Amino acid sequence: MNPIDSFSRDYGEARAKFLGALTALGDLARHEAVPHPLNGPNGEDLATDVGLVGAPDAERVLVLISSTHGTEGTCGSACQYAWLNSDRPAALPRDVRVVLIHALNPHGFAHVRRVTEDNVDLNRNFLDHEGPYPENSGYARLHGFLIPENWSLEARAEADKALQAYADEHGQFALQAAISQGQYSHPDGLFFGGHAPTWSNRTLRAILEKHAGNAQAVGLIDFHTGLGPYGTADLICNAAVDSEDFRRLERWYENGLSSPAAGTSTSAPLAGTMEYGVRQALPNARLSMITAEFGTYPVQRVFNALRGDHWLHARGTDDAALRKAIKDEVRKALYPDEDDWKELVALRGRQLIDQATLGLANDP
């Protein structure tokens, strides 16, 4: 199969391919669906689908997640589909099974949004919502410039001057951190972590408890796009760099492992990441988790695309051409629909899944 054919135009095509690949495996695979309470933009049903491959009693589990961030799902879905259509499912080690979670955030995927149906960044939503939220004074200072009253060239130019002034004062990476680390004060804003666990948060926990709750060891790859060089995977790990978890992941992946806390990642340190929820759902498993972040375009372009989408969601417009331009740019910024990018992602995605499978099988 040509790896380029693993990629899909939208959620509907991606889901159909995923389900078709599971069906083609026959007795090697099983499927469950978790229906989403809302519909897609054309009234279609939405769901998080779960593919199960391997011996049900295997104590080592590899979890592959797509579409934590909605429209980024094309990348992870393609990696899942390509794996299902390879010879790997039939050749799994006896003590390793695979749980493929397709479209964890199906609403965002279908509606071409990075966030969930309640405007929440799912990867900032996994924290204790009963306690005080992390403060982000930098975001509070910038919110009005990130989402100006209108999306005209003049208004954006004035807002950009204010953002650049912040970068000049604090540094460009500090600007990125203030915007992206997560905020809990502006529900209509970027990277909002929510004030309660979202549907996708609860769904992930339930899937993990059901299908990996008795696992001895769990490897997890959460596929993302947006940061870093075009087509290159930054393997983001939140474990302390001097921990056994980090050293284990270095053995598995060898190259590309990075740490936001140590300043070696394309990502700033984040609040409310998925790892918190995964560890709660699987307290007895040895967890080896990475976020595979595939670069698309320069970070400024990606942030501006997200700004436009949040402006559209918060302010709205009757200008159909402007709505289409904003949506097209969000899709493009997080999914370069180019053959060279697809080839790079497909190759690296296959390598990562193979490395994780071997790591799980060979570690004591």
pLDDT of residue 1: 77
- Which residue type sits at 170? H
Asked if 146 and 153 count as a contact pair (C-beta separation under 8 A), the reply is no
pLDDT of residue 145: 96
pLDDT along the chain (364 residues), means of 10: 92 98 98 98 97 96 98 98 97 96 98 98 97 94 94 93 95 93 96 98 98 97 97 95 94 91 88 96 97 97 96 95 97 97 97 98 89
- Residue reference for tokens 């039939």: 90
- Which residue type sits at 343? E
Asked if 342 and 4 count as a contact pair (C-beta separation under 8 A), the reply is yes
Phi/psi region, residue 107 (left: phi>0; alpha: psi -120 to 50; beta: rest), is alpha
Asked if 7 and 70 count as a contact pair (C-beta separation under 8 A), the reply is no
pLDDT of residue 102: 98
Cα 172 to Cα 123: distance, rounded to the nearest angstrom: 22
Which tokens sit at 204? 């992930």
pLDDT of residue 126: 98
- Residue reference for tokens 């199960």: 52
Q: Is 134 exposed, middle or buried (0-12, 13-18, 19+ CB in 10 A)?
A: middle
Which tokens sit at 110? 């279908």
Domain ranges of the chain: 20-62+90-95+108-114+218-267+289-296+335-364, 137-191+301-331
pTM given for the model:
0.97
